[in-house]
Amino acid sequence: MDIEKVNSMDFGEFVDVFGNVVERCPLIAAAVWSQRPFSDLEDLEKHFFAFIDGLPQAGQEGVLRCHPDLAGCELQRGALSAESLREQSAAGLTSLGAAERLRLAELNAQYRARFGFPFVLAARLRDPEAVLRELARRLRCLPAQELRTALGEVKKIGRLRLADLLGGHPLGP
């Protein structure tokens, strides 16, 4: 898909295609549509990220809360979005052994209790060991720093999803 095609989309089509660039936040795609035309993938991406950056803290935490836990109950129930399932599967989180699944559930619960939102990580760039290591490390971070880190991961996920949709290479970090 090229950028001319993106710029020609009506509102409904755009939200259908880009509604899950940010997990379960189609409102962001709905707002970004109003900013067309976009010059290229990077420009489109910039509008998604600027919307997130412009939210008040409660909105940013809301975006994080729209993410399913890694290897959590949505995965067990078969209730993940297609994108999330692909990412969690690429990280090996759909085939964890019982001990790893339990460890991840414990750390996810500790993280949520400490920060008030779920642990978010661009999973497809990792493997289960790296996910557990990063979760244990971030549990010790300060809340303000952790909010910034988590939103950075939301953007990494969005960048990779946009690259999937537009058939391009993801831009640099």
Which residues sit at the interface with ligand 2AL, rule CB under 6 A? 23, 67-70, 84, 87, 118-124, 157
CA atoms within 13 A of residue 4's CA, in its CB half-sphere: 0
Here the tokens at position 152 are 């950075």
- Indicate the residue among 17 and 66 with the shorter CB distance to ligand 2AL: 66
- Indicate the residue among 40 and 92 with the shorter CB distance to ligand 2AL: 92
Q: Helices 26-33 and 41-54, interaxial angle, to 10°?
A: 120
Q: Is 67 a catalytic residue?
A: yes
Rounded distance between C-alpha atoms, residue 81 and residue 68, angstroms: 9
The distance of closest approach from Cβ of residue 164 to ligand 2AL in the complex, given in angstroms and rounded to an integer, is 12
Which residue's CB comes closest to ligand 2AL?
84
Rounded distance between C-alpha atoms, residue 111 and residue 173, angstroms: 25
* Given 23, 32, 60, 67, the catalytic residue: 67
The distance of closest approach from Cβ of residue 124 to ligand 2AL in the complex, given in angstroms and rounded to an integer, is 6
Catalytic residues: 67
